[in-house]
Amino acid sequence: MSASDEILGVVGPSGAGKTALAMRIAEVIGGEIVSCDSMQIYRQFDIGSAKPTADEQRRVPHHLIDVAAPDEAFSAARYAQLVDQAIGEIRARGRRVIVVGGTGLYLRALRFGLFDAPGRDDVVRTRLRNEEHERPGILHLKLRAADPQSAAKIAPRDLVRLIRALEVFELTGTPISAHHAAHDRLPRHAMRVMVLDPAESELVARISARAEVMLSSGLVDETRRISGEFGRELRPLSSVGYGQVMDYLRGTLSAEKLAPAIAMATRKYAKRQRTWFRKEPGAVHYADASALFAGAMVQMRYIESRTAENRRE
């Protein structure tokens, strides 16, 4: 693999400004963007996922956006398959690959693959969902007892990850955290990971402003339309932003409290993202976009010099 094949990753918490920064980098170095976001994969989930606009997607080619139906089961393993395909196609065009997003598990799947996990067991999953419906919060308590390490990383309302962690434990007898720890961590791709991680005060302000913009852009109507077509129990509708709008549509959250609730949920999610990316192997952290952009340009010049040297040899 040549030096020019090295992937550049721009990752970080929600609201940090990754998309705008990645657009700037892509236009300068002749790159294409590969999304690393577990919500942007779904069609129709546009506003709440902060999906790149049509204009942005015309300016710079984007991949792994709108690749799944709203009610389609989608996993990190499926992401790893699709991302490898996208990377190969971009390289075949002689373009640079820029991976952008905030879903740490997807980034880990791209970089190191996933352990040989058992397949989904719908009987186990249905039983666990019923338990949570009858006693809200019980799944997180069960995970704390079975796998404290995973429970510390998974929010009590993140039913998808809670159910998967408990499912793996039931089917294998081993905590999912132990499976991850034992997994061979040889990199699958040469990749430079750059984390955009603004000061907390700046991020809080950006998140609050983003919640207001999403609501003024039609997030409630988007959520109402999706839930009307696919049902209120659709899994992606429990995600940050959409989950709070669903509470509003159910009448359990007032209009006045909707924006603050979305901002609070996003801040909690951003905190978990920061915790994840602090442990990302080899990642370089930047407090502002200008510094990260400068770092990216230094990296590109280094890659170009190495490529030139290899050609001379």
Q: Tell me: the pLDDT tens digits for 44-86? A: 999 999 999 999 999 999 999 999 999 998 988 899 999 999 9
Separation between Cα atoms, residue 269 and residue 304, nearest integer Å: 37
| First-to-last C-alpha distance (Å) of the chain | 15
pLDDT given for residue 308 in this prediction: 63
Largest CA distance in the chain: 69
CB-count burial class (<10 Å; 0-12, 13-18, 19+) for 256 = exposed
Separation between Cα atoms, residue 146 and residue 312, nearest integer Å: 57
Contact, 97 vs 111, CB < 8 A? Answer: no
The helix/strand/coil state of 198 is coil
pLDDT given for residue 311 in this prediction: 61
Other C-beta atoms lying within 10 Å of the C-beta of residue 49? 24
Is the fold of 3-114+183-312 the same as that of 122-182?
A: no
Element (H, E) at 34: strand 31-35
pLDDT given for residue 159 in this prediction: 87
Question: Model's pTM, two decimal places?
Answer: 0.82
Out of 210-214, 245-249, 298-302, which region has the weakest mean confidence (pLDDT)?
A: 298-302
Separation between Cα atoms, residue 288 and residue 196, nearest integer Å: 6
Contact, 17 vs 101, CB < 8 A? Answer: no
Please give the average per-residue pLDDT across 275-285, as a whole number.
92
Other C-beta atoms lying within 10 Å of the C-beta of residue 252? 8
Edge-to-edge strands, sheet with 31-35: 62-63, 31-35, 96-101, 7-11, 191-196, 284-286
User: Which pair of tokens denotes residue 177?
Assistant: 């955290």
Residue 251 pLDDT exceeds 90:
yes
Nearest to 52 by CA among 22, 85, 88, 82: 22
8 DSSP β-pair partners = 98, 192
User: Which pair of tokens denotes residue 86?
Assistant: 């996208």
Residue 131 pLDDT exceeds 60:
yes
80 DSSP β-pair partners = none
User: Which pair of tokens denotes residue 130?
Assistant: 């019923």
Residue type for 100, please?
A: V
pLDDT band at 121 (very low <50, low <70, confident <90, very high): confident
pLDDT band at 3 (very low <50, low <70, confident <90, very high): low
Please give the average per-residue pLDDT across 124-139, as a whole number.
93
Residue type for 51, please?
A: K
pLDDT given for residue 283 in this prediction: 93
pLDDT band at 183 (very low <50, low <70, confident <90, very high): low
In this structure, CATH architecture of domain 122-182: Orthogonal Bundle (1.10)
Enter the DSSP assignment of 189: S
pLDDT given for residue 8 in this prediction: 95
User: Which pair of tokens denotes residue 309?
Assistant: 């040297």
CB-count burial class (<10 Å; 0-12, 13-18, 19+) for 47 = buried
3-114+183-312 folds as Rossmann fold (3.40.50)
Please give the average per-residue pLDDT across 164-192, as a whole number.
83
Q: Where are any strands of DSSP class E within the chain? A: 7-11, 31-35, 62-63, 96-101, 191-196, 284-286
Separation between Cα atoms, residue 102 and residue 104, nearest integer Å: 6
Domain boundaries, the chain: 3-114+183-312, 122-182
pLDDT band at 111 (very low <50, low <70, confident <90, very high): very high
